[in-house]
Chain A
Amino acid sequence: MSDAGAETKARLDRDFTELYRDHLRDVYSYSYYRVGNHHDAEDLTEQTFLQAYRHFERAQRESNGRPLRPWLIRIAHNLAANYYRDRSRRPQTQLEDAAVLTAPHATEDLAEGRAELSRVLAGVADLPDDRREALIMRFALDMSNREIAGALDRSEGATKVLIHRAIKQLEQALGEGGEDD
């Protein structure tokens, strides 16, 4: 390999390693809340980074120095959409799975909060896809409106409205559920 080629590749590999280290948890968290089980979340995370590596040079060139996390999450988002399309299934985050979802949160105040968290997760699972994803990005990944907009290919304003409506819908669902109890 020529000197210039080797140098460019070494720099790309270094940058990609940094991206991987910084965002492995983000991609895994996003995948996990999308698919609802560890096995498929691992698969989705792996595929996301392999695909990201293939297109990293171009993404970096076109990013003009902007953070690449929205691009990375968008890859996971597209792969998750394919996952559901190919297997003709919906996110498996109903009540039984919601209990699974809370398991990695360790054992602190488990007895007291578990039922409530399960209700919240079940409520999130019942939201329309775009609202559910926006909430996962906001709360599990702590992404800004701008980042979420980049990942969902929407304007920042539309993303703000999307999140607001998602929270309102969930609030209403939880309120109604609470009245039933």
Chain B
Amino acid sequence: MTDVERLLASALRPIEPPKALADRLEQRLAKLTDDAAHELADLELREMGDPRNWGRTVGAVVVGGAAAGGLALMQARRHRKQAKPTGVKRLEQRIADAAAEVRKQLS
């Protein structure tokens, strides 16, 4: 090491960051990571709006079990439940289906 290099090593020493900076930065980074987590959860929920993604998203939700995922799963179940006929309507549907089958065989 030459004299100038020794002087440089002495003049350009590493400088400790102020404690206040570290505290402030850690708070901002923690907020960023929280925001990013919420954004990711929102994205998965938005994907539920597209029927092409239902299988994938519901699958991920079942595996996951995180709060947002659980909500999405409940919404998916409610959709299926509403679409499915119940009670008298279900009986009427069965009779109509049977009649259609008989007509098909007679024709």
Contacts and interface: CB of A to CB of B under 8 A. Distances in A.
Q: Is chain A's interface secondary structure helix, strand, loop, or mixed overall?
A: helix
A89 to B, nearest CB: 21
A149 interface: no
Interface in A74-130: 101-102, 104-105, 113, 116-117, 120-121, 124
Nearest to A116: B7
Contacts of A120: 4, 7-8, 10-11
Given A120-B7, A139-B8, A171-B4, A1 B37 contact: yes
Chain A: interface size category: 35 or more
Contacts of B11: 101-102, 117, 120-121, 124, 139
Given A1-B69, A4-B63, 9 more contacts: A3-B65, A4-B64, A13-B33, A33-B12, A53-B29, A53-B33, A117-B11, A120-B4, A120-B11
Interface residues of B, number: 38
A177 B22 CA distance: 39
Nearest to B45: A1
Contacts of B33: 9, 13, 53
**Pairs of residues from A and B, 8 with the lowest C-beta to C-beta distance, nearest first:** A2-B60, A28-B17, A139-B12, A3-B64, A140-B12, A2-B64, A120-B11, A1-B41
A68 B41 CA distance: 28
Nearest to B16: A25
